Chain A
Amino acid sequence: MTDTTPADVGFAPPAEVEEVELYHAKSWITKYVFSQDAKVIAIQYSATAIAVGMVGLVLSWLMRLQLGFPETFSFIDAADYYQFITMHGMIMVIYLLTALFLGGFGNYLIPLMIGARDMVFPYMNMLSYWVYLLAVLLLMASYFVPGGPTGAGWTLYPPQSILPGTPGHEWGIILMLVSLVLFIVGFTMGGLNYVVTVLQARTRGMTLMRLPLTVWGIFIATILALLAFPALLVGGVMLLLDRVLSTSFFMPSIVLMGESLDYGGGTPILFQHLFWFFGHPEVYIVGLPAFGIVSDLLSVHARRNIFGYRMMVWALIAIGGLSFVVWAHHMYVSGMNPYFGFFFATTTLIIAVPTALKVYNWVLTLWRGNIRLTIPMLFAIGFIFTFINGGITGLFLGNVVVDVPLSDTMFVVAHFHMVMGVAPLLVIFGAIYHWYPKITGRMLNETLGQFHFWITFVGAYSIFFPLHYLGFLGVPRRYYEIGETAFIPASAQSLNAFVTVVTLIVGFAQLVFFYNLFRSLTKGEPAGDNPWQATTLEWQTSETPPGHGNFGDELPVVYRWAYDYSVPGAVDDFIPQNKAPDETTGRSEPT
């Protein structure tokens, strides 16, 4: 093989920015509650996101109960069902995945992995979390207002989202929109922080092309989010005005149940453009951190450098850029000018190229590796499998004419759950098993982890794979019940019942995971500083868990990229990034 190691191995350029005085907490409250330490904020973000994610999980059980066993559960009526799907979708996409990847993993890993003592704006970082918490509380409050939460679908398409006929049109929709606005405000404070920290606070020698892919993934995703969320913000505020002040941004003249409403002149499709201008990048806001993290999991546990690092970075950037010019593939049958279809189908399918390259490079990282089948590795493999499946069905939905019969069917539900639900969640689980030892100093239990992995991986696939076929058949999504429909055979109902049973099993397997999380806090085996023998800086801290300021007295100096695994001639099969060339007999000796 050709020698294509980055040419600058061993060279550590001077730091770009001088070290600044850290904020030091003065009391228990400022240390653990109103904390400005990114690690504490990360845990606050994660705990809140996982808690609200549990609500989302329970909602999915309820909706599956209805679909699997219609007319069995009298406590679920159509309005309830639509509230379940709406809250489930919004919670999972925004309040769980976005918050956990960026607020959780971003806060914990960025400073540690780039060799910084903290985020550059610690006070804003703290504020970011508290505004996020307020957004979550407002969202949850919608269960306690007259009419309950909104049932408009997570896309909140007007006119129906603000009209009677949709559950929660009284207060639920208002709380949802205000909560989203707050989420965006909170996220923007955190997001600016992550970007500036990556750009300005890297330690000496940590060039951009030496960053671990985890940081690259979170970094690009954050930039996407900073550019995409404003579209949702303005869309949300305009919809709020339509609802509260009876403006007509999105409201044409409407005759509702025989009554003429006081709206006129607006266009509902404008909202869809704003929503998806945010909504499509959102897929990658969740996806890119997962891509980055899984790259590192594969590399560490296969004891092999990530294959094609530079292409992996460029692929992240390309996917991020392209994600802003594909939004209308969610709107092929929305009634927009049909000629847009040519453009958006083309851009959408182009994205398949860098994405496929990432998949190839993950698999090629395993090839000729020395694969340790640890729990994080199992989840990473599970991710690749799930992601290939979900990515491939994206080629159906992106190709405009293929989308026409499939859009708004269960095929879409199966596709996006596979690609942006299950796949990122598998990465999150893998990442938690991987970094839990650094965060707590203890290992998670292996046996419980095996149990959790197998049920989750095989179960989730069994849930969503068959749903594609209901979509082929033509079963629409967002149906409270299918009822009597001639072309839908009775066997479809049996399939739905099967899927529901598996959903409940997979759901309960998550309780084992939570039990493991709590049990291992005190009973887990001590992890040591670097249990996985990884190269990146977070594993080279002098204390585990890392103390205030992360790295003790001296910041590490970086001499190499993050993937010096199994370097020929080196003593160990990994060389930490902060190991100077003269400390090893490995590849980094200048020749």
Chain B
Amino acid sequence: MAIAIVVVLLIVGSTVFHFMSPWWFTPLASNWGSIDDTIMLTFWITGVVLIAINLFMAYAIWRYRYQKDRRAEYEPENKKLEGWLIGLTTLGVVAMLAPGLIVWADFVTVPEDAHVFEVMGQQWQWSYRYPGRDGILGTTDNKYVDFDNPFGIKPDDPYGQDDILVQSDEVHVPIDQPVKVLLRSLDVLHDFYVPNFRAKMDLVPGLITYFWFTPTKIGSYEVLCAELCGQGHYAMRGIVVVDEQIEFEAWLAEQPTFAQSMALARAPGTDGQEQTASAQSVASISADYKISDEQLNLLNAYLDSSLE
């Protein structure tokens, strides 16, 4: 008998726990409210099922507890009942799956006007790269990685010269602009996870992976590595700051370009080369990336201001 009572108490307790819990999703700071909606839909459908089945079970345990002079009912099966239960379950599953797949279709379809930045992971730090004025990230290869060129950008790739390098665990993004995050790892698997954005994706050495989101709330959000990457995994943290456009541009302008950092590494006074390269690359914006005119102007503005 105690077991029926305990089952009821656990169900009541879990429900109370749910409503009292101070542990819940962080405030949403991206466009992925639709993910939250799907979660809540799943939560309510499954929650009702959880409560209903367990209460029914508790009732059955109490109602049909052992009595010496009673016999259980002999009933091998009841096809009609089983048919109904299968049907209803299928409906419930469809009600969760269909919206889920619709949102997933959004998730895998990157908006054409999304701007791009790259996240690079290595044990146990984050760094970031913006494509610079030309809107195109320079080609990279692990064989070019060295102390002066930590991102491994191909030294003679014209698209790479104006790439803006962020060698810090903090990156900024402008508010309300869709962004495609390209993910690259130098060593092992990592996972770029910002709880407030809901989205996450693994970084896989040898591949470039991606996901997209639109930041919707000004603020500073923590990045956690969510794929075990060795002993320092738990300490691999970063920050994404969502800025107003102006502040974002100002921040970006403070970051060095690839050409600048290489020049600095080699010797002072070779800025001229870099400017030529940037000019060339701006002229040859590729249609592949489908950068809008507005964004192109924006990018040119960053580069200009960064060169001043």
Residue numbers of A with Cβ under 8 A of B are 1-2, 4-6, 78-79, 82, 151-153, 155, 157, 159-160, 163, 165-167, 252-258, 260, 266-269, 302-305, 307-311, 333-335, 338-339, 341-342, 345-346, 349-350, 352-353, 356-357, 359-361, 363-364, 366-373, 378, 381-382, 384-385, 388-389, 392-393, 395-396, 399-402, 404-409, 454, 457-458, 461, 465-466, 469-470, 472-474, 476, 478-483, 485-487, 489, 491-492, 495, 563, 565-568, 573, 587
B154 within 8 A of A: no
B286 within 8 A of A: no
Task: State the CA gap A361–B96 with chains docked (Å).
Answer: 23
A-B contact pairs, 11 of them (CB 8 A): A6-B76, A159-B187, A160-B189, A260-B143, A303-B66, A304-B74, A311-B82, A333-B191, A408-B227, A458-B10, A485-B237
Of listed B78, B90, B230, residue having the most chain A CB within 10 A: B230
B39 within 8 A of A: yes
Tell me whether A255 and B186 are in contact (CB under 8 A).
yes
Tell me whether B39 and A396 are in contact (CB under 8 A).
yes
- Of the candidates A258, A369, A404, which one forms a contact with B35 in the assembled complex, judged by CB atoms under 8 Å apart? A404
Q: Contact string, B131-151, partner A, CB cutoff 8 A, digits 1/0?
A: 000000000001101110000
How close is A397's CB to chain B, nearest CB, in angstroms?
10
How close is B219's CB to chain A, nearest CB, in angstroms?
10
Smallest CB-CB A-B distances: 8 pairs: A252-B206, A474-B195, A165-B230, A335-B209, A304-B72, A160-B188, A408-B226, A566-B72
Chain B residues whose CB sits within 8 angstroms of the CB of A253 once the complex forms: 142-143, 205-206
Tell me whether B193 and A335 are in contact (CB under 8 A).
no
Q: Contact string, B1-35, partner A, CB cutoff 8 A, digits 1/0?
A: 10100110010001001000111111000001011
Could you say which interface size class chain B belongs to? 35 or more
Task: State the CA gap A489–B35 with chains docked (Å).
Answer: 23
Tell me whether B101 and A342 are in contact (CB under 8 A).
yes
Tell me whether B186 and A370 are in contact (CB under 8 A).
no
- Of the candidates B23, B76, B82, B196, which one forms a contact with A305 in the assembled complex, judged by CB atoms under 8 Å apart? B76
Task: State the CA gap A23–B65 with chains docked (Å).
Answer: 46
Tell me whether A357 and B145 are in contact (CB under 8 A).
no
Of listed B50, B146, B200, B207, residue having the most chain A CB within 10 A: B200
Tell me whether B228 and A157 are in contact (CB under 8 A).
yes
Q: Which of B56-64, B156-164, B247-255, B261-269 contacts A (4 or more CB under 8 A)?
A: B56-64
B199 within 8 A of A: yes
How close is B198's CB to chain A, nearest CB, in angstroms?
4
Chain B residues whose CB sits within 8 angstroms of the CB of A363 once the complex forms: 53, 56-57, 60
Task: State the CA gap A487–B223 with chains docked (Å).
Answer: 11
B303 within 8 A of A: no
Tell me whether A257 and B206 are in contact (CB under 8 A).
no
Tell me whether A381 and B61 are in contact (CB under 8 A).
yes
- Of the candidates A255, A373, A483, which one forms a contact with B3 in the assembled complex, judged by CB atoms under 8 Å apart? A373
Across the interface, name the chain B residue whose C-beta is closest to A157. Answer: B189
Chain B residues whose CB sits within 8 angstroms of the CB of A480 once the complex forms: 233-234
How close is B70's CB to chain A, nearest CB, in angstroms?
5
B289 within 8 A of A: no
Q: Which of B103-111, B166-174, B276-284, B290-298 contacts A (4 or more CB under 8 A)?
A: B103-111
Task: State the CA gap A352–B24 with chains docked (Å).
Answer: 26
- Of the candidates A309, A381, A478, A587, which one forms a contact with B74 in the assembled complex, judged by CB atoms under 8 Å apart? A587
Given contacts A402-B35, A473-B24, contact A485 B145 (CB under 8 A): no
Chain B residues whose CB sits within 8 angstroms of the CB of A255 once the complex forms: 122, 142, 145, 152, 186-187
Chain B residues whose CB sits within 8 angstroms of the CB of A384 once the complex forms: 57
Tell me whether A353 and B90 are in contact (CB under 8 A).
yes
B285 within 8 A of A: no
Across the interface, name the chain A residue whose C-beta is closest to B187. Answer: A256
Tell me whether B186 and A404 are in contact (CB under 8 A).
no
Given contacts A353-B93, A363-B57, A473-B25, contact A381 B7 (CB under 8 A): yes
Chain B residues whose CB sits within 8 angstroms of the CB of A163 once the complex forms: 187-188, 230
Chain B residues whose CB sits within 8 angstroms of the CB of A305 once the complex forms: 74-76
- Of the candidates B24, B105, B198, B204, which one forms a contact with A269 in the assembled complex, judged by CB atoms under 8 Å apart? B204
Tell me whether A82 and B56 are in contact (CB under 8 A).
no
Task: State the CA gap A356–B1 with chains docked (Å).
Answer: 25
- Of the candidates B42, B61, B78, B146, which one forms a contact with A396 in the assembled complex, judged by CB atoms under 8 Å apart? B42
Of listed A79, A400, A466, A483, residue having the most chain B CB within 10 A: A400
B46 within 8 A of A: yes
Task: State the CA gap A406–B42 with chains docked (Å).
Answer: 13
Chain B residues whose CB sits within 8 angstroms of the CB of A152 once the complex forms: 228
Given contacts A252-B205, A345-B97, contact A357 B86 (CB under 8 A): yes
Chain B residues whose CB sits within 8 angstroms of the CB of A409 once the complex forms: 226
Tell me whether A256 and B108 are in contact (CB under 8 A).
no
- Of the candidates A345, A457, A476, A478, which one forms a contact with B193 in the assembled complex, judged by CB atoms under 8 Å apart? A476
Chain A residues whose CB sits within 8 angstroms of the CB of B49 once the complex forms: 388, 392
Given contacts A157-B189, A260-B142, A378-B3, contact A368 B73 (CB under 8 A): yes
Of listed B1, B72, B204, residue having the most chain A CB within 10 A: B72
- Of the candidates B74, B82, B227, B228, which one forms a contact with A308 in the assembled complex, judged by CB atoms under 8 Å apart? B82
Tell me whether B75 and A470 are in contact (CB under 8 A).
no
Task: State the CA gap A371–B71 with chains docked (Å).
Answer: 10
- Of the candidates A260, A335, A370, which one forms a contact with B145 in the assembled complex, judged by CB atoms under 8 Å apart? A260
How close is A150's CB to chain B, nearest CB, in angstroms?
11
Chain A residues whose CB sits within 8 angstroms of the CB of B229 once the complex forms: 160, 165
Residues in B208-255 with C-beta less than 8 Å from chain A: 209, 222, 224-235, 237
Task: State the CA gap A341–B108 with chains docked (Å).
Answer: 9
Chain B residues whose CB sits within 8 angstroms of the CB of A567 once the complex forms: 74
How close is A263's CB to chain B, nearest CB, in angstroms?
9
- Of the candidates B1, B10, B191, which one forms a contact with A385 in the assembled complex, judged by CB atoms under 8 Å apart? B10
Chain A residues whose CB sits within 8 angstroms of the CB of B35 once the complex forms: 401-402, 404-405
How close is B213's CB to chain A, nearest CB, in angstroms?
11
Given contacts A345-B100, A473-B195, A566-B73, contact A160 B228 (CB under 8 A): yes
Tell me whether A404 and B64 are in contact (CB under 8 A).
no
- Of the candidates A258, A353, A478, A486, which one forms a contact with B233 in the assembled complex, judged by CB atoms under 8 Å apart? A478
Task: State the CA gap A305–B72 with chains docked (Å).
Answer: 9
Chain B residues whose CB sits within 8 angstroms of the CB of A474 once the complex forms: 25-26, 193, 195, 224
Chain B residues whose CB sits within 8 angstroms of the CB of A473 once the complex forms: 23-26, 195
Tell me whether B46 and A268 are in contact (CB under 8 A).
no
Tell me whether A402 and B39 are in contact (CB under 8 A).
yes
Tell me whether A487 and B61 are in contact (CB under 8 A).
no
Task: State the CA gap A368–B201 with chains docked (Å).
Answer: 50
Tell me whether A472 and B205 are in contact (CB under 8 A).
no
B288 within 8 A of A: no
Tell me whether A399 and B145 are in contact (CB under 8 A).
no
Task: State the CA gap A268–B209 with chains docked (Å).
Answer: 13
How close is A212's CB to chain B, nearest CB, in angstroms?
14
